[in-house]
Structure 1
Amino acid sequence: MSKKTKAKGKGTVIKVILLIVALLIVLFLGLIIYANSLGGNARDSGSKTMITVAIEKGSTTSDIGALLEKKKIINSGSAFKLYTAYKRLDGTYQAGTYALSPSMTASEISHILQNGKTNDITFTIPEGYTEYDIASRLASIGLVDKDQFVSLLENGGFSTEYTFLKKAQKGKHNLEGYLFPSTYTIPATSDGDFIISTMLSAYQKVFTDADRAKAKKLGYSENEIIIIASIIEKEAAVDEDRAKVASVIYNRLDDGMALQMDSTVQYVLSLSSDRKKDLSIDDTKVDSKYNTYKYTGLPPGPICNPGRASIEAALNPAKTKYMYFILSDRLDDTMVFSTTYKQFLKDKEAYYKARDKAESKNN
């Protein structure tokens, strides 16, 4: 091979190398420009929708990008990952619950996730609240529109995600009993769907497989245990009485007696009017399957949303022969229990006498 040919060959190789280098530089610059542009582009700049996103602890940038894409906040999880890598933000995002919008750019989203700060609101749902009580409470603090929230409660179709609801009562009271009472901290922009899901998820964690096994051993379903727990919640004001109230319920069920629980009638009345201080004879005759004066057995569904203490009592009733109970004449919210109707009448008379005396003294 001549020197001229060799030189020509070397020149070709150098040109190819230079071309490859040039292409790599162009590609690199293009990626930089593209990655940088991602920070300023939003999926939908005109959107006013806020979407709640929960970033779990230990989530990678890929996990976060995929979640944001799934929630339709960004167009591409891969592009978000590229932007994060370019800005050297990997590992800087904080776990938490965020309210994000498709109108936000990747730069804005990254800044929010880095700071780990959300505008949160804390609210408490007490034990014994009905689903409508919950709607009123949330509306009073401006979290929801009451009518819209009630519509969601009655027609939301949450049983697809929360399968335990498939064995609960059917119809518009499907969620009653399963909106777990607790203190919650959520983004201020959370919608009704998110709030309900949060409460159902809390119940899902509280009622365990061990509880289901215990319910089965007692001969009752999960839904029946929650019904019993809801009655306990409304009847017993102090923890020490819960297991004994549970024993009365089970003893009456075993004996085929009507439960005759005032709380079940009060629930019926609350659906159309206000609860009463004392029930009349006519009240106990109201025609509803929830009326345990008129119908034997358990009502068709829970009468409130019980807390863990009442669920525990329903699963672990005291071993007694009690068939009756009424508030104590000590007027301290405790109960007195009895095995005979005769003793119950004496306890009842003592309670009302003490209450009337206290009320007349206060007046």
Structure 2
Amino acid sequence: MSKRTTVLKNPTVKLFAIILILVVFAFVGCLIALNQMAKAYDPSDKTVVTVTIPSGSTTESIGQILVKKGVIESADAFKYYSKFKSYDGNYKAGSYALSASYSMDKIAKIIESGKTNDITFTIPEGYTEYDVAKKLSKLGIVNKTEFTSLLEGGSFTGKYSFLKGAQSGSHNLEGYLFPSTYSVAANADGSTIINAMLKKYDSIFTAKYKARAKKLGYTENEIIIVASIIEKESGVDKDRAKIASVIYNRLDDGMPLQMDSTVQYVLGLDNNRKKDLSNDDTEVNSPYNTYQNTGLPPGPICCPGEASIKAALYPADTKYMYFILSDKLDDSMSFSVTYKQFLKDKDAYYEARDKSEKDND
């Protein structure tokens, strides 16, 4: 009998071998589990949110906060990972910009560092001031109620000359929170964010634009009102200047603007926007209702981008008085000089839309 066979028959050696194998398997299993924990919760979700870690937070409570914010899947996994990697007990209070696309190790290192990183967010063209508040709140950057109070408080008028010509009251900032991409510290307060957006607007509406508005015979605020209507009414860039011409032609003729977007703004303030307006909707009692009131509404109905501002300043030279969505169903408009042609365009659009919806059922 060989020595090898004798050794393997030794009960002590055999037990040691079994234990060693089990330990190796356990170790490999731990490595696999750790590797799974370390993976990003959702690599495809690049949304960055602000996560605030209060002073005195335990690793377990931090994990629960991260789960609530949607950046990790399991608080327990975060706790075990933190212990294994020796992060436990080293996390620091603060506000951090985090994402579900970050690995757990990256998240842990950011919170351990205690260094506040920047958060980047984009405000699209056509957002109202309340849309801005809603988005920033969803990202965890601001408290919606507190931010809305800042918007409505009127405390920024003295800092920016253009706001002195804007409408007074709670909608003073409507139209001036310029749509763009911003990077701010994760712990930035609402006032800092609003100032950044107002400064951006101020840099866009240059002296050249101010001179052009004056030449047209309109104030800066009136141009922004027109631009906001263009922003909401246009579906494609090429139509913006034509829509502007319709607005100015109607103003010159003393006709009501009859822009659906202004009524939708009123309904939107009550969270009641609609696909199609009814006759009752167009009779809503509001100074913003351009079916019932001639001239411009008292203030902008959204925050327009520079393309719409340019269209308001440099309208197309046309005799158009009407427009409606085109029967091409590509978000472009059909423009007309006469009401008769407008009715034909209207019938063509609804016929095409109804057919498309029926075909897709």
| Aligned match of 2:133 | 135
Per-residue CA deviation, residues 106-147 of structure 1 (Å, 9 max, x unaligned), is xxxxxxxxxxx8600010100000000000000010001111
1:127 and 1:346 mapped to 2: Cα distance? 31
1:205 and 1:330 mapped to 2: Cα distance? 38
2:352 and 2:118 mapped to 1: Cα distance? 47
Per-residue CA deviation, residues 274-310 of structure 1 (Å, 9 max, x unaligned), is 2100000000000100000000000000000000000
| Aligned match of 1:335 | 333
Of residues 285, 290, 293, the one that matches 1:287 is: 285
Q: Alignment partner of 2:182: what SS?
A: strand
Shift of 1:156: 4.2
CA contact (8 A) 2:154 2:170 kept: no
Mapping for residues 188-199 of structure 1, pairs under 5 Å: 188-199=186-197
2:155 and 2:280 mapped to 1: Cα distance? 36
| Aligned match of 2:294 | 296
Of residues 348, 353, 356, the one that matches 1:355 is: 353
Mapping for residues 75-224 of structure 1, pairs under 5 Å: 119-224=117-222
1:288 and 1:332 mapped to 2: Cα distance? 31
Q: What's the RMSD between the two structures over aligned residues?
A: 1.2
| Aligned match of 1:251 | 249
| Aligned match of 1:308 | 306
| Aligned match of 1:273 | 271
Aligned residues: 249
Shift of 1:152: 0.6
1:220 and 1:151 mapped to 2: Cα distance? 30
Letter in 2 for 1:173: H
1:129 and 1:242 mapped to 2: Cα distance? 17
Of residues 341, 344, 347, the one that matches 1:346 is: 344
1:142 and 1:322 mapped to 2: Cα distance? 45
Shift of 1:272: 1.2
| Aligned match of 1:233 | 231
Runs of 4+ in structure 1 over 2 Å off: none
Shift of 1:192: 0.4
Shift of 1:262: 0.1
Shift of 1:160: 1.0
2:219 and 2:116 mapped to 1: Cα distance? 40
Q: Alignment partner of 1:213: what SS?
A: helix
2:329 and 2:232 mapped to 1: Cα distance? 17
1:273 and 1:152 mapped to 2: Cα distance? 21
CA contact (8 A) 2:231 2:305 kept: yes
Shift of 1:237: 1.2
Q: Alignment partner of 1:123: what SS?
A: strand
1:122 and 1:353 mapped to 2: Cα distance? 43
Shift of 1:273: 2.4
| Aligned match of 1:58 | none
CA contact (8 A) 2:154 2:172 kept: no
CA contact (8 A) 2:163 2:173 kept: yes
1:354 and 1:279 mapped to 2: Cα distance? 18
Which of the two has higher C-alpha Rg?
1
Structure 1, 330-339 or 152-161: larger mean CA deviation: 152-161
Q: Percent identity?
A: 71
1:251 and 1:325 mapped to 2: Cα distance? 12
What TM-score do the two structures reach when normalised by structure 1?
Answer: 0.68
1:299 and 1:235 mapped to 2: Cα distance? 15
Listed as ranges, the gaps of 5+ residues in structure 1 are 1-47, 49-98, 100-116
1:118 and 1:325 mapped to 2: Cα distance? 50
The answer on 1:318 being equivalent to 2:316 is yes
1:287 and 1:212 mapped to 2: Cα distance? 33
| Aligned match of 2:30 | none
| Aligned match of 2:110 | none
CA contact (8 A) 2:234 2:243 kept: yes
Letter in 1 for 2:259: M
Per-residue CA deviation, residues 132-183 of structure 1 (Å, 9 max, x unaligned), is 0000000010001111111110004101111210110000000000000001
CA contact (8 A) 2:289 2:297 kept: yes
What TM-score do the two structures reach when normalised by structure 2?
Answer: 0.68
CA contact (8 A) 2:116 2:187 kept: no
Listed as ranges, the gaps of 5+ residues in structure 2 are 1-54, 56-94, 96-114
